[in-house]
Structure 1
Amino acid sequence: MRTSPIAALLSIAFSASAATFHVAPPSAGGSDANPGTAEQPFATIQRAANSAFPGDTVLIAPGTYTGFNVVRSGQPGLPVTFSAEPGVVIDAAAAPFNGGNHRSRINLDTVSHIVIEGFEVVGTNDLRNSAEGIRVVAPLAAGAGHITIRNNHAHHNGNRNIFTGFVSNLTIEGNTCHNAHKEHGIYISNSADNHVVRGNIVYDNAGAGLHVNADASLGGDGVITNVLVEANIFHGNGAGGTYIDTAGNPQASPGGGSAVNFDGVRNSTVVNNLLYDNHASGVSLYRIDGGQPSSFNVVVNNTIVNAPDARWCVNIRDGSTDNAAFNNVLINRNTARGAISITANSLTGFRSDHNIVSDRFDLGGSFITLAQWRTQTGQDLASIPRSPTHLPALFTSPATGGYTLAPNSDAIDAGVGQFDEAAAPTSDLLGLPRPQGVGHDIGAYESPVCALIGDIDGDGDVDFADLNALLGAFNSAAGGPGYLPGADLDQDGHVDFADLNTLLSHFNARCP
């Protein structure tokens, strides 16, 4: 698309005049009567939002604030950026906006080219004052999009921690989203395409970890395409919860959402994710409210280990054809269920192989073994059967969420670089290049040929990148926000001084 001369001139003008607004609590000198400079900051984020134009940045100093509405769009290459320093907490809903009381902490309504980064967004279980943590919505015809939600900690919100609707070109990355009381950790809804969900840690939400629903009943074509779900960690989702509804009545959420749900999602990829101890299915491809089934998707190099009360590792139904699954670990701690469930009307074009699987499948409602599955479908001929008892031999410390590969793991070099028309990823969840050995490893993590203590990113050097990764996860605990299993060098469930000392004692070590 060509940029018009007028648009180009406006872009240059905004870029030349881009401003930075500062916000600080009243105790630190903030006042909305101030000009919003570093020396004389505003007191509320809303005052800064009302002042910001394309290319402007709002910097928020540590403190606890009421939420805010983003009132003005940026432009291509000139986003409006809201950047919070560590210690910024949003704990109350923004004011009603556009005639509606959204009851959300951070509200983006019919705007584009916005960056939201660095906030802690905390809610309650009372939907009367806490609906969404971060809300990004627009009418169908608005064409809103190009929103980045990055490095936020959204938790304990009433409905969902991050919610979007009819907004395209989303980037949701590096966030920690947990303990949504009623529904999902991250919910992308309505007919809007081209999303990236990358590097998030999503856990203990009442419903799904990530729910992507094209919502044909709400208008549009009811299809979402080109979604990349990459290098996320999902655990403990789908167990249900309790909340107070908008009438003030206590309610129970039934839970049951998969770690990753696709309803009416097509031509998308789920790659290099770790999904463990979730209480429904791992990845579900289906059609309930989608305009079309969830077809032509690729599920590759994921590690999926389900909880003992879970359903299936991969669940495909409702005519969701032409999907592929390869290089995945699909182990179910619920021995009554297993690796893959697929309905008869979803079998056309389905391909699956080079996985590590539980020896139980569901083919059109009939529970069968891997041998029967191979005979009846021709799939998973090279896949490896393994049970939950094999987890300690496959992974470093599965009991504490450590799913990097153990030495001599069956997953090492057992994958493929190409499966029909689908290519395996060229790096793993931590960014380590694939393959390291004679072949691609199965699962979310690649095992380095040269294993060095302290080489968190697996690049063959213990260097500042590893030190920064450990410091970024410092004081975190297994199951908590920011926990990085690879940084827990002694695998005791805590990233602490013992791990830091271990890394420093091996600093500058390098593979030959």
Structure 2
Amino acid sequence: MRKGILVLAAILLLFVLGFREIVSSPSSADVALFWDSKVTPLIAEYEDQCGVDESWVPRGNSSCLNSIGVGNPASLRDALRSAGPGTCITIEKGIYDPVRISLSGTAEHPIIIRGSDAVRVIFEGSARDNISITDSKYLILENVSSRGAKRAGISILDSSHIIVRDCVVEDNGYWGIFTGFVSQLLLSGNSSSGSLREHGIYVSNSGDHVTIRNNHVFDNARSGIQLNADASMGGDGIISDTLIEQNTIENNGSDGGAALNLDGVSNSIIRGNIMLGNHGGGIALFRIDGATGSTRNIIYDNRIEQSADGRWCININSGSFGNILFRNYLVTDHDFRGSIVIDDSSRKNFHSFRNLAQGPFSLDGEQNRISLTEWQRAGYGQETKAPAALTGH
């Protein structure tokens, strides 16, 4: 209760001091509902139940034959080898060697691989990736831990209709969760921390219909969550129809990057995320490897509080046009980097309104910093009508 009162008091103080972007508010009560209806349906959260077949994997790496249910007694690898649509494999507490998975269920009967205890079902070893999923469809991985991999705690490649939820990945060489060429992907309720060289969650290469929801991503060397549509690797070089929401991203970026680092991400929604004390950027929209900049995204209801050594709260550059910012809370302790920086190549169809923004701002890619008043004179923060792209008319 006291914490809530303090937060409210801080917000009211910002209004009193004039640290707000808007003078008159656009009519946008239905904006969020409209955009919810525009998102292409993503992957469904399957009911938490096993399918037509069940195997029970014994403790640790033991090859002792033991089973509950109708499956053949099996080690983990044997259970995976015999799995088919509707199989549910439950893994008992213990420490497991790295594992490779290539399985396909169906929309009606996904394959479920489930730990009995997310903290005590642990995959670790000296392999490149501890849990490697390739060429798979309609597969759910949940409630396991992965730590100490040379590269990724969990990797998913060349797959679709994959769910990874309620997993703990920590202290891996490059990435906690890594994907490449994966569409219809849901990453939900995971904890990813301590990546030594790069990112907590890394979605790479072309892949659409991705949902990243309610994850806790912290203490990673570079970005908290990185989406990078690398055109040089094949595909269209764009990640589209993506939803990034309700994630808590904190204390990342001591070696650069951003809390949300988006290269070649388009027609997507970023909402309701909390980003605290990150040392790189807050949200960065750009093009380095993607076929285009990060274009036509809707970014709203995010809370960004940058550390004193952090970069801008929101940075939009390199042809990332058509983005809309509203109802974001943007605060930084940095001496000169501020709330929003955008370059000239990204200002086409850019809208920014109803943000609680401390400033300063920049319209030329950080060459010059401007005040709130100058930002408003440039036409931002004073829109009296929500843009047609938001309202649908």
TM-score (norm 1): 0.63
- Which residue in the other structure is 1:122 paired with? 147
Amino acid paired to 1:324: I
Equivalent residue in structure 1 for 2:122, among 68, 90, 102? 90
3-state SS of 1:368 partner? coil
Equivalent residue in structure 2 for 1:22, among 56, 59, 67? 56
Query: Residues 92 and 105 of structure 1 are in contact (CA less than 8 Å); yes or no, is this contact kept in structure 2?
Result: yes
Structure 1 residue 122: Cα displacement: 1.2
Structure 1 residue 419: Cα displacement: 5.8
Deviates further, 53-62 or 16-25: 16-25
Equivalent residue in structure 2 for 1:366, among 365, 368, 375? 368
Equivalent residue in structure 2 for 1:153, among 154, 165, 168? 168
Larger radius of gyration: 1
Equivalent residue in structure 1 for 2:96, among 65, 69, 72? 65
Task: Give the gaps of 5 or more residues in structure 1.
Answer: 1-14, 95-101, 124-128, 139-143, 240-254, 384-415, 424-512
3-state SS of 1:261 partner? strand
- Which residue in the other structure is 2:152 paired with? 132
Query: Residues 53 and 71 of structure 2 are in contact (CA less than 8 Å); yes or no, is this contact kept in structure 1?
Result: no
Using a 3 Å threshold, how does the CA distance of structure 1 residues 316 and 134 change in structure 2: closer, same or farther? same
Amino acid paired to 2:146: V
Using a 3 Å threshold, how does the CA distance of structure 1 residues 191 and 16 change in structure 2: closer, same or farther? closer
Distance in 1 of aligned mates of 2:174 and 2:50: 41
Structure 1 residue 92: Cα displacement: 2.4
3-state SS of 1:105 partner? strand
Amino acid paired to 1:134: I
Equivalent residue in structure 2 for 1:110, among 135, 145, 157? 135
Number of positions where the alignment pairs a residue of Structure 1 with one of Structure 2: 340
Structure 1 residue 78: Cα displacement: 1.4
Query: Residues 181 and 207 of structure 2 are in contact (CA less than 8 Å); yes or no, is this contact kept in structure 1?
Result: yes
TM-score (norm 2): 0.82
Structure 1 residue 116: Cα displacement: 0.5
Amino acid paired to 1:371: T
- Which residue in the other structure is 2:300 paired with? 300
- Which residue in the other structure is 1:32 paired with? 63
Amino acid paired to 1:291: A
3-state SS of 1:282 partner? strand
- Which residue in the other structure is 1:262 paired with? 262
Structure 1 residue 32: Cα displacement: 3.5
Distance in 1 of aligned mates of 2:309 and 2:79: 48
3-state SS of 1:206 partner? coil
Distance in 2 of aligned mates of 1:42 and 1:19: 12
- Which residue in the other structure is 1:324 paired with? 324
Structure 1 residue 54: Cα displacement: 1.1
Show CA shifts across 1:364-396 (max 9, x none): 121111111111x2001389xxxxxxxxxxxxx
Using a 3 Å threshold, how does the CA distance of structure 1 residues 17 and 233 change in structure 2: closer, same or farther? closer
3-state SS of 1:167 partner? strand
3-state SS of 2:206 partner? coil
Structure 1 residue 36: Cα displacement: 3.5
Amino acid paired to 1:372: E
Distance in 2 of aligned mates of 1:16 and 1:225: 32
Structure 1 residue 420: Cα displacement: 4.5
Using a 3 Å threshold, how does the CA distance of structure 1 residues 359 and 145 change in structure 2: closer, same or farther? same
Distance in 2 of aligned mates of 1:42 and 1:419: 60
Amino acid paired to 1:152: C
- Which residue in the other structure is 2:177 paired with? 162
Amino acid paired to 2:390: A
Query: Residues 198 and 229 of structure 1 are in contact (CA less than 8 Å); yes or no, is this contact kept in structure 2?
Result: yes
Using a 3 Å threshold, how does the CA distance of structure 1 residues 68 and 332 change in structure 2: closer, same or farther? same
Query: Residues 326 and 419 of structure 1 are in contact (CA less than 8 Å); yes or no, is this contact kept in structure 2?
Result: no
3-state SS of 1:322 partner? coil
Using a 3 Å threshold, how does the CA distance of structure 1 residues 60 and 369 change in structure 2: closer, same or farther? same
Distance in 1 of aligned mates of 2:51 and 2:252: 45
Equivalent residue in structure 2 for 1:222, among 213, 234, 237? 237
Distance in 1 of aligned mates of 2:204 and 2:360: 33
Amino acid paired to 1:374: Q
Structure 1 residue 64: Cα displacement: 1.4
Query: Residues 214 and 289 of structure 1 are in contact (CA less than 8 Å); yes or no, is this contact kept in structure 2?
Result: yes
Alignment of 1:315-394 (within 5 A): 315-364=315-364, 365-375=367-377, 377-381=378-382
- Which residue in the other structure is 1:453 paired with? none
3-state SS of 1:188 partner? strand
Higher strand share: 2
3-state SS of 1:422 partner? helix
Structure 1 residue 34: Cα displacement: 2.2
Amino acid paired to 1:70: I
Query: Residues 53 and 87 of structure 2 are in contact (CA less than 8 Å); yes or no, is this contact kept in structure 1?
Result: yes
Distance in 1 of aligned mates of 2:253 and 2:301: 22
RMSD: 2.4
Equivalent residue in structure 2 for 1:209, among 224, 228, 250? 224
Distance in 1 of aligned mates of 2:59 and 2:91: 9
- Which residue in the other structure is 1:178 paired with? 193
- Which residue in the other structure is 1:195 paired with? 210
Q: Does 1 or 2 have the higher relative contact order (CA < 8 Å, sep 6+)? A: 2
Query: Residues 50 and 87 of structure 2 are in contact (CA less than 8 Å); yes or no, is this contact kept in structure 1?
Result: no
Distance in 1 of aligned mates of 2:286 and 2:50: 48
- Which residue in the other structure is 2:79 paired with? 48
Query: Residues 66 and 74 of structure 2 are in contact (CA less than 8 Å); yes or no, is this contact kept in structure 1?
Result: no
Alignment of 1:228-239 (within 5 A): 228-239=243-254
Query: Residues 149 and 172 of structure 1 are in contact (CA less than 8 Å); yes or no, is this contact kept in structure 2?
Result: yes
3-state SS of 1:196 partner? strand
Query: Residues 44 and 66 of structure 1 are in contact (CA less than 8 Å); yes or no, is this contact kept in structure 2?
Result: no
Using a 3 Å threshold, how does the CA distance of structure 1 residues 194 and 21 change in structure 2: closer, same or farther? same
Structure 1 residue 16: Cα displacement: 12
Structure 1 residue 18: Cα displacement: 2.0
Structure 1 residue 31: Cα displacement: 4.9
Task: Give the gaps of 5 or more residues in structure 2.
Answer: 1-48
Amino acid paired to 2:331: I
Query: Residues 58 and 64 of structure 2 are in contact (CA less than 8 Å); yes or no, is this contact kept in structure 1?
Result: no
